[in-house]
A = this chain, B = another copy of it.
Amino acid sequence: MRASVSAALKPRKTPVQSRSAATVLAIFEATIQVLLKQGFEQLTTTRVADRAGVSVGTLYQYFPNKNALLLAVLGRYLDAIASSIEQACRVRHGSTLRCMVAALCDAFIHAKTRRLDVSKALMQPAAKLGGDALRQQAARRVRRAVLDMLATTTDRQFGDLQMPAMVVTTAAMGPVHEAIGQGAGPPELLALRQALEELCMGYLLRISKPKQHRSATASDRV
């Protein structure tokens, strides 16, 4: 029952023929193309329709307005990011804190780096009306995934988990966003990854206690 980020942005009419499903896909791709080649300011519904090979009217048959189109594209992107981080977290359930932190830092950076051009292109309209709500919804999924993972550590125990999960996720985003914005290359990203790990480890060690070493296998497979 995991909520999809783009749930509220469903096209006006659901494609029932394969022809229109292709049309919607073409519009999505055309939007990203225009965003990449012409930029946000130059993005026009007519231009998108042209590049998609359809008329404006067709575009408006599937999206109530330009904003909804942009949000739909952004939503797909955020969905993909959230999913990949969720998976990275799930794989590390029941492992060491250091191991979890390392995986998490990797996942954050990969998410933003995977399709760097698209990331950057989407960052501009991201703060427009509604875009922030989407961002928050995706952040909630990530936060939840982090919390679930932390709850299964083998070597540390936490009091509250809500706050640390929130702090770690949002805190890690900032440096990554900044580094990307400054056009950081592979070497800088490597140094950044290291710094993020120190950041998360320092914080999480500080607010947690070592776990009692009675029977380590007891809570191994909860």
Contact = CB atoms under 8 A, between A and B. Distances in A.
Nearest to A196: B167
Interface in A97-151: 123-129, 132, 136, 139
A171 B199 contact: yes
Q: How large is the interface on A (under 10, 10 to 19, 20 to 34, 35 or more residues)?
A: 35 or more
B195 A164 contact: yes
Contacts of A41: 129
What's the number of copies of this chain in the assembled complex?
2
Interface of A: 39-41, 123-129, 132, 136, 139, 163-164, 166-167, 169-175, 177-179, 181-182, 191-192, 195-196, 198-199, 201-207
Given A124-B127, A202-B205, 16 more contacts: A124-B128, A128-B128, A132-B181, A136-B178, A163-B191, A166-B175, A167-B196, A170-B174, A170-B175, A170-B178, A171-B171, A173-B174, A198-B206, A199-B199, A201-B202, A202-B206
